[in-house]
Structure 1
Amino acid sequence: MANFSTNLPCPAPFYDSREFGASGGSNMQIHIDVEGRLCREISPDFKCCLPCPMTDWVYADNFDPLIDAAGWVAVVATACCLLLCLSWAFLPVQQTSRHYLSVCLTASAILLNLGFIIPLAAQPDKCYDTITPNDMHTSPVCAISGACVHFGGWAGVMWLFMRSLSLHLQICWNIPDGRTFMLWAFGVGWGIPVVGGILVFVLNGVSFRFGSTCYTNHTHSMEVFWIPLLVLIGLAVLIAFATLGYCIKVYIAVLSDPARPLPSGASVSTFATRMGPRQLYRRVRRVLALQWRGIAVVSIFLATIVFYAVVFAFQDNVVRSVTHRPEVAVEWGVCLIVEGGDKDKCLDKISRHVVSQETLIAVCILLSLNGVWLFMFLGKWSMVRGWIQLARDMTSSRSAVSEPDPSLPLSRVSGEVKSYQILSKGSAASY
């Protein structure tokens, strides 16, 4: 930022950090720091800081409304997820094809979306004071939204990994996901997100960085959050490509010589060596026909999360470099002073040091769309027929109770109604 003298007050639009307390809000850092105060250090106890929030100075005026639009997309996506969950809960499995991998992935999407919906409803104050943003210690909404985003993000990646691994085992190794795999998946799929979320809060913390949702601070974000997440995403992608490669290999084998069995080293699995190419092709095609929805969900979600992780990891890296080289923002700071705090005339001088507004908004909207993708690929027309049938059954049941046959004696009707009520209670309890 600009050069100041310790003998002069901070020029507008900057504020003297000594006028504000050092407690509360995000941790104080020097130079440009999107985690906390946006300051230029003049001396160890004197900093000139821009007003909070930081995004008001580095992005256009329409930034916050566009970020809020992503929150409304999350509302629609959450409604889609809840409709899926209700269908899985109340409709027969023959009509929904419910599976614990789908249910857990949908629950993860709901948690992630709550990180956008809760701030949208609460409209929290992003700033602790004039120059200090709120964080998880000073804003309950920040703590809750940050927990939902990071725990839901971790859980989503874990259950995508589980779906990718399950599909690989079924196609390449002919191993169904039985009870053992299910118990292991539940333990790992929810245990690791809990540990990952706790580490983010304990070792790094969350604060208002942009919009009304809290994200992890920059200090240890790579070590605590981004690197483990990217490693897990990389494993899921490798497994998905291995599965795809196996399917292509089987298809090529059928085209080249459908009568000749595969040699012992020609397949990913030893199971495949005991089958001919045409048998393998029929088995793989059958599994793909059953699992294409899950494959589509995994592919779209992995692409979205990779985009999200790369963008934010890049932003953290840029902020770290700017923190250690404050001279790169001197031109921007001087521009703000010369222009009397008119940020619009200085946006071009800071734009190369932050992630572009369009990219951030695209990431938020893509993350919010996860529930819509789940509804599109995991929802079925048989669910619609199931709800129609359920409504008809409930209507006919009420009619049977409320409209007794007038030809029957009153005592017989009363006995049948009483028996129906007892049967309903017994059925509900057993279910």
Structure 2
Amino acid sequence: MSNSTLYGLCPTPFYQESLFPSTGGFIDGRYCETLSTTGGNISCCLPCPLASWTYGDDLIHKTEAAGWLGVAILPLCIFLLISYAVLPAKWTNRHYLSICFTLGICCIEIAFIIPLGIKPEQCHNAITPNDMYSDISCAFTGSLLLFGGWVAVTFSFIRTLAFHLQVCWEVILGRKFMWSAFVFGWGIPVIGLTVMLCLTGVSYRFGGTCHINVHHSNQDYWAPVMAFAAAALVLQLATMLYCIHVYVKSVFDKNPTTNSSGLPSYSASVRTMTARQAYRRIRRVIQLQWRSITLVLVIIGNVIFFAVVFIKMDNKLTPTPANAERALPWLECLVTTGGHKPDCFSQLSGVMPNQATLLAVLILLSLVGFWNFILFARPSMFLGWADLFKTKVTHPHEFVSVDARRTPDSRAYEMLDSSGLPAFNKTPAPVTVTTIRSPSPARTSGARSPENDLYNGREARYVSPTMSFSSPRPPSASQAHGREWDPQATYAPGHTHNGSQ
């Protein structure tokens, strides 16, 4: 069917809706208005995609910039994940919150990369866009994008809550908090995504990545996401106000005893520490977590901006009498010019967000992974990789004695008897004699002990321990008298030089 036939009774460039099937694609995504003609009231729809009529035909190519940013940033996120998995914690300072947050960002980046290779078809027919039921690419990109947004927001809230508990309430986070964070941080996004896909769904609205539909989007996605972002922002502000309060209090603290140490004594509780000690403790926590604080603030700011832009767009696209009246000058311009789009863009100021704002949303979404890499890719990670490659490529140097490399001659050894004196052979070897003694445990460890001295025929010396406050005392004359060693009294056998009893 030709385009002229599809116009029906509608003026150019509108198509008559009754000439298209009522199934297939996202029917609610059609942009139609009821016009009064000689044949009665007829529903006329703008051709698909709608974004080309509101922002121009080059919008598709401009939205691909977010995809190419994702191509550049996704390897950075994968580098972080591999570093967390391979390198020891001393190089990466990994944390389970950082790992989960990075995984959520990877979902967002993949959602922008998929359309670059697939080049999906945005329209099911001339007036109907595709949705997650009619296009598999739409289902994947929309689900990954929204799920990644959910994960980023929930773990931002968990990070803020953890920081608040550590600073304001001096709570030591343990395994219970970690498992609760896993259940909450992954369970809420899974539940939210399921509810959103069942009640609202995703479809092509602008660009090659699917976004959430208008119908019930505020109730099942934007309102919950905004609630978590607002809660995280309130907790962050409360924590920072508490830090400011402690700092001001420490400035006016004149107690001289707090200048000696930043840690509380063993006799005092942590909650009874002075203002300067509390400030030092909070300063150390902030020095350790300033990266997390910065990233959370970036995420919260982006989420608020995204929500405001999309909510305004959804409200203006809802078919209401007020929106129809607001869009009437733009629709009349399209009819008057015969569908020449550039001449009517000036009439869209109150109908849709401008193109710059829309592109800013997509680019900021892609840059979340960049900020995550900048803040959490520590220089020690690169040192850790260099150390790993160095240990894999170069073999460790083992110390080998020069004498051990030669084949020993059994005649060249001199045997020792139990007294430590050499037992002379009748036919001595004509080479230099090398005396080999079995090393004692004290010798192998590098320490010198009295037992080792006795074994080698030297006088034993008493080595006073480091933390000992006593020393050996010589026996008095009365004690020494009559203390000759008697083997019969101690049940020990007596030995002579030749070993006979």
Common topology (TM > 0.5): yes
Taking the TM superposition and a 5 Å limit, the aligned residue runs for 1:21-420 are: 21-28=21-28, 36-42=29-35, 46-259=42-255, 273-320=271-318, 322=320, 325-397=323-395
8 Å CA contact 2:26–2:203 kept in 1: the answer is: yes
Counting aligned pairs with the same residue, the percent is 41
The one-letter code sitting in structure 1 at the alignment partner of 2:386 is: I
- Provide structure 1 residue ranges, at least 5 long, that are not aligned to the other structure: 1-6, 29-35, 263-270, 401-406, 410-431
State which structure, 1 or 2, has the greater radius of gyration over its C-alpha atoms.
2
Cα root mean square deviation, aligned: 2.4
1:322, 1:141 → 2: CA distance?
A: 31
Cα shift readout 1:173-206 (whole Å, capped 9, x = no counterpart): 1112210000000001000000100111000111
Native 8 Å contact 2:10 2:42 kept in 1: no
CA distance in 2, matches of 1:234, 1:154: 14
TM-score normalised to the size of structure 1? 0.84
Matched position secondary structure for 1:257: coil
TM-score by length of 2: 0.73
Q: Which has the higher contact order (CA 8 A, sep 6+)?
A: 1
Q: Is the 8 A contact 1:260 1:277 kept in 2?
A: no
1:13 aligns with 2:9: no
Alpha-carbon distance in 2 for matches of 1:92, 1:312 = 42
Does the C-alpha gap of structure 1 residues 389 and 8 become closer, same or farther in structure 2, counting only changes over 3 Å? closer
Q: Specify the SS of the correspondent of 2:394.
A: helix
**Kept after mapping to 1: 8 A contact 2:76/2:370:** yes
In structure 2, give the amino acid aligned to 1:383: M
Q: Is the 8 A contact 1:322 1:329 kept in 2?
A: no
SS of the equivalent of 2:318 reads helix
Contact 1:261 1:273 in 2 (8 A): no
**Post-superposition shift, 1:39?**
1.0
Cα–Cα, structure 1 residues 347 and 108, in superposed 2: closer, same or farther, change >3 Å?
same
Rounded to whole Å, the distance in 2 between the matches of 1:273 and 1:350 is: 60
1:273 CA drift (Å):
4.8
Shift of 1:302: 1.2
Q: Deviations over 1:84-138 (max 9, x none)?
A: 0011111110000000000000001001111111122211000001110000110
- Contact residue 76 and residue 372 of structure 1 kept, 8 A: no
Change (3 A) 1:24 1:321: closer
Please, which runs of 5 or more residues in structure 2 have no aligned partner? 1-6, 259-268, 399-404, 408-501
SS for the counterpart of 1:61 is coil
| Amino acid in structure 2 at the alignment position of 1:25 | G
Structure 1 distance, partners of 2:68, 2:244, is 41
Q: Tell me the CA shift for residue 66 of structure 1.
A: 1.6
Aligned-pair CA distance for 1:10: 1.1
How far 1:374 moved relative to its partner? 0.7
**Cα 1:388/1:220, change in 2 over 3 Å:** same
Does structure 2 retain, via aligned residues, the 8 Å contact 1:258–1:276? no
* Matched position secondary structure for 2:27: coil
Could you tell me how far apart the structure 2 residues matched to 1:219 and 1:174 are? 45
More helix per residue = 1
Report Cα offsets for 1:57-107 as digits up to 9, x if no partner: 000333222210011112222111101001111111000000000000000
Task: Answer yes or no: is the 8 Å Cα contact 1:226–1:309 preserved in 2.
Answer: yes
Q: Given the superposition, is the C-alpha separation of residues 373 and 150 from structure 1 closer, same or farther in structure 2, using an over 3 Å criterion?
A: same
Change (3 A) 1:66 1:323: farther
Whether the aligned pair in 2 keeps the contact of 1:258 and 1:277 (CA below 8 Å) is no
